[in-house]
Amino acid sequence: MAEYFEHFSILEIDYTFYRLLFESKGSPSSNYHVLKSYRQYMKKEDLVNLKAPQMVIARKLRRGSAFVENESYLNADIFTKQFYQPAVEILGPCLNGIIFEQEYHVKNDRVPISKLSLDLDEFFEKIPKDTRYHIELRTEAYWVTPVFDVLKKHGVGLVFSHWTWLPPLRKQLAKVRAEFFNAGNQVVIRLMTPLQMSYEESYAKAFPFDKLIPGMLAPEMIEDTARIVNEAIKDRVQVNLIINNRAGGNAPLIAQMIAERLHSEKQQEFF
C-alpha cells in the first residue's frame, strides 16, 4: 500500500464487491480486517474508491453454476449497517468514493425503465446522504433519461466504463450530453476490457500483464478517455481514472499513453 501511493494518488479496491464488511449478526468479516490493515499503511492524503458489495447492487447472484434472484437487492439497511458505516469508520477522509457496479442484464432479463428508476430512487433516498456515490450500469439500455434524472436528483455519478458490452466511451459521453452527475464534482472512468471481448479472453490475451498487446488496445479508447478528461476539467470536475491490465496488456503503460495524449493537447493549445 505504501509503495503504491508513492506513485498513484488513488486506489480502487474491488474485493469489497464480494463480501460485506459486517456479517448479518454484526461481527466484522474478513474484508473488514483486511481493509483495516490497509488503512494502517495509508497517509491521510491517500485516497480509496471502494466497490459496494454485489449483495446490494446485483439483481442476481451466482450460486454454483446458476444465477439466483438476490433477496438483498437494493436493501438500504444492509448497505448502510453492514458496509457504509464500517467503511467510513475505517477509512475516514481516505474514502474518496463508493462504486455500485450493476451486472449486465441480457435482453430477456431486463427490468422496465420505470421500475429501475423507481427502485434506484427509493434506494438512494434511504441510504445515508453522501456526495461520493457512483454507479456503473453495464446495460446500455439503462442509459436513458429517466434513470439519469434519478441519478442527478441524488447526486450519484454515472461511471464511464470501457467494458465488453457497453458502447464506446464517446457514445457514453454523448448519451449524457457531456454532463457529470456526481454531487461531489467527481467522475470515475474505468478502462476494464476491450469492447466485445469477454473477461476470460482479455485476461488470457493480456497475461502476464507486462507489455501492451498488439491489436488489443483500441486507439479510440485513449482518444475517448482524453476527451472525457478534458470535458471534466472544463467543468471543474475531478477525474478518477481506473485502468485494468486487461484493457490492453499493461495498465501503467496505458496510463502513460493517456498522459502523453493529454500533454500533446496542452502543447497544441499553447502554440
pLDDT at residue 66, rounded to an integer: 81
Measured distance CA(87)–CA(16) in Å, rounded = 10
Q: What is the mean pLDDT of the chain?
A: 95
Measured distance CA(2)–CA(193) in Å, rounded = 27
22-42: average pLDDT: 95
CATH 2.60.120.260 fits 1-158, yes or no: no
pLDDT in tens, 223-264: 999 999 999 999 999 999 999 999 999 999 999 999 999 988
pLDDT at residue 268, rounded to an integer: 58
pLDDT at residue 270, rounded to an integer: 45
> Grid coordinates standing for 16?
469489497
pLDDT at residue 62, rounded to an integer: 84
48-56: average pLDDT: 97
29-52: average pLDDT: 96
Measured distance CA(67)–CA(83) in Å, rounded = 23
pTM of the full structure? 0.94
**Which among 47, 68, 46 is positioned nearest to 59, based on CA atoms?**
68
Domain ranges in the chain with CATH number 3.20.20.410: 1-158
User: Which residue type is seen at 141?
Assistant: A
pLDDT at residue 26, rounded to an integer: 87
pLDDT at residue 271, rounded to an integer: 41
pLDDT in tens, 4-21: 999 888 999 999 999 999
pLDDT in tens, 185-223: 999 999 999 999 999 999 999 999 999 999 999 999 999
Please state at what angle helix 219-234 crosses helix 251-270, rounded to 10 degrees: 60
> Grid coordinates standing for 227?
476527451
> Residue 212, class by beta-carbon neighbours within 10 Å (0-12 exposed, 13-18 middle, 19+ buried)?
middle
Measured distance CA(190)–CA(243) in Å, rounded = 6
**Which among 99, 83, 101, 87 is positioned nearest to 38, based on CA atoms?**
87
The answer for residues whose C-beta is within 8 angstroms of residue 87's C-beta and 6 or more apart is 16, 21, 35, 50, 95, 98
- In this structure, the strands spanning 10-13 and 47-51 are parallel
269 pLDDT more than 80: no
pLDDT at residue 37, rounded to an integer: 96
